[in-house]
A and B are shown apart, each in its own frame.
Chain A
Amino acid sequence: GEDVEQSLFLSVREGDSSVINCTYTDSSSTYLYWYKQEPGAGLQLLTYIFSNMDMKQDQRLTVLLNKKDKHLSLRIADTQTGDSAIYFCAESIGTGGFKTIFGAGTRLFVKA
């Protein structure tokens, strides 16, 4: 069945780059997403990448997609304490791609 896997924790120092990795199983995924969840809040869409793209950059965020290996990564440049949150990788599946499967989330700790 469909599955999305990601490491559970990442700790970085303020100012360094963070790289959060994810693997997925559905090769027919049309879109892959990164969501951010802050304490007590719902998930917020950070960025997405279409499956025919290799890379997408949006300010401090860079998404890399290796479709052959079904590997997705999110790089956050110049990580700030405000970036501390849980980051979810997700893939759209099924006809029309409306159903989304989420990973377990990577908790990012940023040390000042």
Chain B
Amino acid sequence: DAGVIQSPRHEVTEMGQEVTLRCKPISGHDYLFWYRQTMMRGLELLIYFNNNVPIDDSGMPEDRFSAKMPNASFSTLKIQPSEPRDSAVYFCASSPRRTGLGYTFGSGTRLTIV
């Protein structure tokens, strides 16, 4: 398996533009998580899905952020409109049904809003 695949690896966008981050989880994993990592706030859970259904989106910072999982092999995190304070590394992770096995993380998308 190729692991969790995220795209793009890097994104530089002007403030106000729409940004879409993409994730392909490991096949067979029932859970998908979106995290944001910054120096100031560390690793924050934004939202997670179980079998494509959003379970907990309490970490989504504002209405500007939205996430979808239209099928088991694809998820998007969208920011519209983007702001400089959204600059961070965004990680997608997936996990199988059985607990204790931990998460497999993607390589992340480094987002810079200028």
Interface on A for B, CB 8 Å cutoff?
A: 30-31, 33, 35, 40-45, 48, 50, 88, 92, 96-105
Contacts and interface: CB of A to CB of B under 8 A. Distances in A.
Contacts of A99: 45, 48, 56
A68 B13 CA distance: 48
Contacts of A100: 33, 45, 102-103
A31 B56 contact: no
27 contacts: A31-B102, A33-B102, A40-B107, A42-B4, A42-B91, A42-B93, A42-B105, A42-B106, A42-B107, A43-B43, A43-B91, A43-B93, A43-B105, A44-B105, A45-B102, A45-B104, A48-B102, A92-B100, A97-B100, A98-B31, A98-B48, A98-B95, A99-B56, A100-B45, A101-B45, A103-B42, A105-B43
Interface residues of B, number: 23
Nearest to B102: A45
Given A42-B91, A45-B102, A102 B107 contact: no
Given A43-B91, A98-B50, A102-B42, 20 more contacts: A31-B99, A31-B100, A31-B102, A35-B102, A41-B107, A41-B108, A42-B4, A42-B108, A43-B93, A44-B105, A45-B103, A45-B104, A50-B100, A88-B43, A92-B99, A96-B99, A97-B99, A97-B100, A98-B48, A99-B45
